[in-house]
Structure 1
Amino acid sequence: MALSEIYRLDAIPVQSCVLLDTAAEARGFRTAPLVLCFCDACGFIFNTVFVRELVDYASTTEESQHFSGTFNQFAKDLAAEIASLCRLEGKRTLEIGCGKGEFLKELAEQTGTIGLGVDPGFIPERLAVESGHDIAFQREYFDPATVPFSPDFVVCRHTLEHIPDVKTFMADIARAIGQNEGVGLFFETPDVRRVLDEGAFWDIYYEHCSYFTLGSHARLFRAAGMDVTKLYLAYDGQYIIQYAKAAPGVAPLENERDLDDIRRLAAAFPERVSAIRARWTEFVTKRHAAGKSVAIWGGGSKGVSFLTTNGLNEEVSRVIDINPFKQGKFLPGTGHRVCAPEELRDSPPDIVIVMNRIYLNEIGARLEEMGLTPELVAV
């Protein structure tokens, strides 16, 4: 296995979606180095110095994106797609890394599945479950030994990228499935090809220790004895969507054959990401020096990475987020307070940098409703 280093950061917050009560606590939040290496043989990218014990998902983690209408519609559409492709009524679905449970609830509503969600960060009082939906939750890390049934369908969204030993994780899924052949699997994982191509440093953070392309994602499953049946990119090309079956595989899908392109992008990434970091640092610092008020919209992982990677502090006046559970809390690393959009009325910013371009229209409409017309740009 030939590994090459493609990106290094000396100190970044070990968690970026954690809720912190004071600016001092946020500025003193623990940091650790990140070293991304690329495997030339399979295309897998991972943080070689990741320390699992530094990340506590059972703490005050706030990862939910379901306060966005755009994201909510995406989740509903995904559930509808699963319903159209998989007969789940009365079947048992296991969701690994269910977060706050919103997607499992939606899936149960659309399919009639019997669901179990597993996540150490699940908060029972955050989810209202209507009668007639048979779903339950375990507030713990996934362990096949504690799953009380052999599932007919496995869902895993935005979790694989948090797993350092992905081969062991796949083996654990196989243990949970047991002898139940033909079990369907649905995975949704961030796509690193776009990150490499765009130099998107804001999409690299400590919790994400494993990075996949369409090809490396599928190769992981095929190596675990599973067949990849459907594979594509969604959400403006940001997310890998993969369907698989616990059955011997057939020939790879055409879009799995990406290794030559990924080798080229990985080799070019150090220069590319350096240029993009410099461009955004200059963009912010020039406007700050000219007396402009710069805000960023997005108080999650992208926002934290954008600020801490480039050492931006007072150059950014405010951080905005529509998630009410983030508002009033402080970002790890820089200590920026997270503001509700309504707070902008009292002191409108000159520039708003949107941390995810797919939300540009949604955010633009929100600003227009408030009568605000800042310069609006997206990373």
Structure 2
Amino acid sequence: MPTCPCCGALAGAPFYEVPAVPVHSVTVLRTPEAARAITTGRIALSLCESCGFVFNAAFDGNKQDYFHDYVSTQAASSVFNSFHRRLAQDLIDRHGLHGRDVVEIGCGQGEFLQLLASLGGNRGTGFDPAYEPSTELPRDVRIIKDVYSAKHAEAAGDFIACKMTLEHIDTVGQFVSGVREAAGDDPARVVFFQVPDAAHIFAQAGFWDIYYEHCSYFCPGTLRTLFEAAGFAVTTVRSDYDGQYLMVEGHPTSRPQAPTPPSDLAAIVSLVRRFAREVPEHLAAWSRDLAAGKRAGRRTVLWGGGSKAVSFLTTLGITDEIEAAVDQNPEKHGSFLAVTAHPVIGPEALRGAAIDRVILMNPIYQNEVAAQLDRLGCRAELLAVTSPLARQAA
């Protein structure tokens, strides 16, 4: 039985398995051959019924390489950019971040860090070992191409943010404890983390949101328990972005709480068991639906050329039932999705194209994508991946 990386208890046997998935799903792959040859790994999700943590017990970090053409930004979407700006302004307003030192762990290209700096007149320091400078950073922002740790004098700051990084780390207990050490003992120092909300994923049987890079999955109570056990006083746990993102805020405390099971543990266990029951039904329904569409000669594309699309296609074993993936990020145009080698095209490629259906990989972009399709004169049916329409044949 696997040991829980969050609390150290013995976890259960895997409840969801996928035998061969790409270890990276947003690496830009320039040829079909490179896409098909990408390294694969296994997913075997296990649940710890002591703390509610879900993790990939088959994860092997040695298979991964985040240093080569890894493109995960969502900055091409106005919906996402609006959310990002609102989030940064909210944190600045609530925590009085004006003329302060702000730190971001796993900052990528520094988009959010620059918002925190510019909107609040702050000084920003980011940490990301995969950072590759593409544009000149503002004067008050710098990014250190290294792993975040206490060895850096700049590691504490007045505010520490970490967005969409913790889910990529398999040793989560050790990592959060390391952040606590680097943060020091000042109770005025604020720590903010954002991760995917696993409760949202499990509730909708979202198999497309399970991929190799995300080896760790958190529901609200589990996230709170993890940070309290590491020595943080948790002030809030909340969700945002249509329930997709889970956020925790807190500060260092010299009197950490003894670890206790999360208050929503029973609900987490129930959600996981429901996910395990329902996913096979949804997979079968999608397979039937897409196969029927192919027989009928319907032309279908996915909207979104990132991790969700790759997981959707590889989990279903899809080939020519889907023609391509559409993505707004020009860096991805002309590339191919991992394993299946579906081409990634720009929205303009749909202008004048006889496409019958567009499957939207993230429903939060429904209005944005519908407006683009209308502008392009594309009359295709727009179907969100969460829609029950494709499963009515189940």
The residue type equivalent to 1:119 in the other structure is D
2:368 to 359, 362, 366: 362
Contact 1:7-1:35 within 8 A present in 2 as well: yes
Q: Which of 279, 286, 291 is 2:292 aligned to?
A: 286
How many angstroms apart in 2 are the aligned matches of 1:335 and 1:78?
35
Deviations 1:284-342 (A, max 9, x none): 12111110001000000000000001100111001100011111111111011110000
User: Residue in 1 aligned with 2:22?
Assistant: 13
- Give unpaired runs (5+ residues) of structure 2: 1-8, 386-394
2:357 maps to 1:351: yes
What TM-score, normalized by structure 2, do the two folds share? 0.91
Alignment of 1:95-244 (within 5 A): 95-126=104-135, 128-131=136-139, 134-244=140-250
Question: Aligned pair 1:301/2:307, yes or no?
Answer: yes
Counterpart check, 1:82 vs 2:88: no
The total of aligned residue pairs comes to 373
1:258 matched residue in structure 2: 264
Change (3 A) 1:164 1:147: farther
Letter aligned with residue 295 of structure 1? V
Residue identity matched to 1:105: Q
Q: Deviations over 1:221-259 (max 9, x none)?
A: 01111111111111111110221111257999xxx6211
User: What code does the residue aligned with 1:85 have?
Assistant: R
| Structure 2 counterpart SS, 1:270 | helix
> Which residue type is aligned with residue 134 of structure 2?
E
What letter corresponds to residue 188 of structure 1 in structure 2? Q
Mapped pair 1:3 → 2:11:
yes
SS of the residue corresponding to residue 358 of structure 1 reads helix
Counterpart Cα distance in 2 of 1:317 and 1:88: 47
Equivalent pair of 1:157/1:189 in contact (CA under 8 Å): yes
- 3-state SS, counterpart of residue 124 of structure 1: coil
SS in structure 2 at match of 1:78: helix
Question: How far apart, in 1, do the equivalents of 2:378 and 2:46 lie?
Answer: 43
Is 2:34 the partner of 1:28? Answer: no
CA contact (8 A) 1:298 1:319 kept: yes
Distance 1:373 1:138, change over 3 A: same
Q: What letter matches 1:356 in structure 2?
A: N
Name which of structure 1's ranges 186-195 and 276-285 shifts more when overlaid on structure 2.
Answer: 276-285
List per-residue Cα deviations over 1:58-95 (Å, max 9, x = no partner). 22100000110000000000001101111222221110
Shift of 1:26: 0.2
Alpha-carbon separation, structure 2, partners of 1:286 and 1:122 = 44
Partners of 2:73 and 2:235 lie apart in 1 by: 28
- 1:47 alignment counterpart: 56
1:139 is displaced (CA, Å) by: 2.0
Q: Give the stretch that moved more between structures: 68-77 or 240-249.
A: 240-249
Mind listing any 5+ residue stretches in structure 1 that lack a counterpart? Answer: none
Other-structure match for 1:71: 80
